[in-house]
Amino acid sequence: MGVSCRCPNLGSTLRRAIVVMLVACALLNNVKLAAAKEAGERDIQNIVDAIVKPVMRQHRIPGMAVGVSINGRRHLMHYGVASRSPHRPVTHDTLFELGSISKTFTATLAALAQEQGRLSLKDSVGQHMAELRDSPIGEVRLLHLATHTAGGFPLQLPDDVKDRSGLIDYLRAWRPQSAPGAMRSYANPSIGLLGIISASAMGETFADVMERRLFPALGLRSTFIRTPLSRMNAYAWGYSRDDLPVRVNPAMLADEAYGVKSSAEDMLRFLDLNMGLGAASPGIEQAVLQTQIGYFRSGDLVQALVWERYPYPVALDKIVAGNSPDMTMNAQPVVAIEPPIGPGGEMLFNKTGSTNGFGAYVAFVPSRRIGIVLLANRNYPNEVRVAAAHRIISRLAR
């Protein structure tokens, strides 16, 4: 006759031991993950510090905000001061003038208007502005406005164009220097006109449609054309070559071409959307992707809707050349890409922006899920910004 020994508490004791062990393992894993994350953050900080701090010293930049997005994780670094007097350090709230990076938002608005059926980039200017129908500008397509290929606008509007009436007179008198789609002439007037038409198609003024509809739809909470009084303390002062505090002056087409103020955090959100990493409505997502389609080629540069794109990896000298004064100030021959190149593939997208007191640069590589934002309250050379960003991306994309 066998003898059995019953241990009624053994099962519960074993279960408790297993639970304790699993909890301990989870806590250990969390500690390891936290340590790895902290080490990763330190590595990124060290890489950015080593590149950005010498640039700030060499070019006497009072303050910078740098943002890096890697696989959807955002890293923000702040340097120096947003204002010397009163003394205010750069923080995650600091607003910088974006200069011509503002144009990427104007292009996004145009793409959204197209997505909603309110206009087509194939439309002519005259289809949307009756007062320009019987003039050469009336025949120009909206696509050409969005790609700097309208036929030869100057970089800036003449100083004597101060209101809509003066703008219409200027546009009616404009005469193309080349056929639309033949030359690339980087210009504020063409993008400004695109902004006016796009906002009108949406039934609002440009500033209203951007601040009430587009920026919120993009998930941007610290991006403005008209900086609210409640955020003025966060608005950095720019510094001129003579170290005088300056901010952008209101002017005709400033809102549409170079008037946006934003934070590094918001700009990373925008880049994440462009890389397919953020959450937005399908219409917004499609509009963002439309801005990346490549329509014209000029040397190594492919011109999308404001965005400029290059096959990745791209040699530093090529991207510096694409952002050179020659590309900004002088007309360049282009070749239309048929059919246009879609947003996929190994590509780097970039845009510079400047005002009298600010210098900005953004770049992203969707296939590598990496983006970078450089915002500074001094206008320093484009080639320096491009080189700094190129070095950071090259280090982090390994």
What amino acid positions are annotated as catalytic residues? 100
Closest CA to 101 of 306, 305, 367: 306
Chain Cα centroid distance, residue 106: 11
Under DSSP, the state recorded for 236 is: P
Question: 194 Cβ partners below 8 Å, 6+ apart?
Answer: 106, 107, 110, 142, 145, 146, 256
- The angle at the Cα of 179, spanning 254 to 145, to the nearest 5 degrees, equals 25
| Whole-angstrom Cα Rg for the chain | 25
User: DSSP alpha helices (H): ranges in the chain?
Assistant: 10-58, 102-115, 125-128, 142-146, 164-173, 188-201, 206-209, 215-217, 254-258, 264-274, 282-290, 316-322, 325-329, 382-396
> CA-CA distances (angstroms) from residue 301 to 11, 206, 247, 291, 337?
70, 29, 31, 15, 12
Q: CB–CB of 141/128 below 8 Å?
A: no
Strand partners of residue 96: 262
Task: Find where tokens 């890409």 sit.
Answer: 337
Closest CA to 184 of 339, 343, 342, 306: 306
> CA-CA distances (angstroms) from residue 129 to 110, 126, 313?
15, 5, 42
Give the number of other CB atoms < 10 A from CB of residue 292: 24
3-state secondary structure of 330: coil
